[in-house]
Structure 1
Amino acid sequence: MTTRARHLRADAARNRESLLAAAEAEFADRGFDASIADIARRAGVAKGTVFRHFATKEELIAAIVSAHFAALMTVARELLDAPDPGAALLEFLTVAAEELQQHDLTFLQEVSEGTAAGTELRNELHATVGSLVDRARAAGAVRPDVTGTDVFVLICAPVHAVGFLPDPAPGMWRRYLSIIFDGLRPEGANPLPGPAPSWP
């Protein structure tokens, strides 16, 4: 690859990242009503530049969500080799809550769920979280009747809990994460009612 080709590829990658950041900010401000023109204006590029990278608004949203899923997946995979499986699971849930606190992806995730890329990444993240839970359960750090799916659906819970408070203190979500994680521990646990949830 020539130096010019490398520069062009690097420029394209920077443009894409800039577009994703601008789009996420615009969607946070305006919801799904945010237009491609608004996003292009915020990113400082022409409208056609957006369409060169993303054919539709849905494809753009799927790319935003996929980037966050991919970042969480990298963290989860690295923690699979941690010497303390219980601490590794808590660290992952902490990182995930921090990510969700900074980036409210609930709306964007709902829009992207029908896309093949979004579904595949979500399933991969679910499987990796399941492996973290399996290790923690085998080490006795997590109660035996808790599954990976149980923990996966609790990832957003600390941030959502804080959303019900009128004026939460910074980092308040950590309080609710501690409550949730204590509920995952085997000490003093009562049997969970009903069967464990399935995953499609």
Structure 2
Amino acid sequence: MKRHLRADAVRNRSAIIEAAAAEFTTRGRSADVRDIAARAGVAIGTLYRHFPTKDDLLEMVMQDLFSAWQNAGLSSWVNHADPWTALTGFIDDAVRRQATHVALTERLARPFSERQLDECATRVAAVAEQLVARCHAAAVLREGVTGEDIIQLIICLASLADHSEIGRVEPRADIPATRPGTDLRQRTTTPWVRQLQIGVDGLRPVHGALAPP
């Protein structure tokens, strides 16, 4: 029979996850569980009762993060009327999600063979594949571009963004960052945004077929 947590245990677990999300966002895997416990307002022993290792806690945070990313992609982009806008909007949003979260940057920077087996990353990659398929069907995407190419482009672009600067790069106040149709040119010009513009331009079919991997 599944054991039900007491109300105080549920609150503690929620507080630990929230605190861990904040610490992993800014410090990545180097985050200290003692700092997480202190931020959550619980004893270190309480933290370990819920999450025996730091990796267990990090995995929970990553699952929540990837689920939110996947849901955002499905709700905002997969059914968007314009395939090209959907793809570029997904890329823009994804770069920002990764560049503002140190632990996410670290996770996606793993070697391909390891990341390929990552269930969380696979779910997000599936969204990219759907967007790519729609663009190819509409003949607005360079021939040969795959969903994996899009994920790799996102990883490369986010690696250029300074985690301390990303939050200062905002769209116009009247256009939310994840709103379909956001024009990348409306962003503040910074080195990583320029590379984003260059990278997205390279996806256009005018450049000819992309050589197979």
TM range (shorter): 0.7 to 0.9
Question: Is contact 1:80-1:132 (8 Å) kept?
Answer: yes
Q: 1:110 to 1:179 in 2, by over 3 A?
A: closer
Root mean square deviation of aligned Cα: 3.3
Aligned to 1:127: 126
TM-score by length of 2: 0.71
1:151-200: CA deviation from partner (whole Å, max 9, x where unpaired): 1111122221234xxx899432332211111111112x14434x33xxxx
1:115-144: CA deviation from partner (whole Å, max 9, x where unpaired): 99x811211211221111111121122111
Aligned to 1:176: 195
Distance 1:131 1:147 in 2: 10
Aligned to 1:38: 35
TM-score by length of 1: 0.75
User: Which structure 2 residues correspond to residues 98-117 of structure 1 after superposition, within 5 A?
Assistant: 98-104=96-102, 105-108=104-107
- Give the percent of matched residue pairs that are identical in Structure 1 and Structure 2: 35
1:60-112: CA deviation from partner (whole Å, max 9, x where unpaired): 1111222221111001212211111110111111111121222122235568x
Distance 1:36 1:52 in 2: 13
Distance 1:100 1:16 in 2: 25
Q: 1:145 to 1:58 in 2, by over 3 A?
A: same
Q: Please, which runs of 5 or more residues in structure 2 have no aligned partner?
A: 170-189
Distance 1:66 1:32 in 2: 15
Question: Is contact 1:97-1:158 (8 Å) kept?
Answer: yes
Structure number with the bigger relative contact order (C-alpha 8 A, sep ≥ 6) is 2
Flag as ranges the 4+ runs of structure 1 deviating above 6 A.
113-116
How many residues in Structure 1 have an aligned counterpart in Structure 2? 184
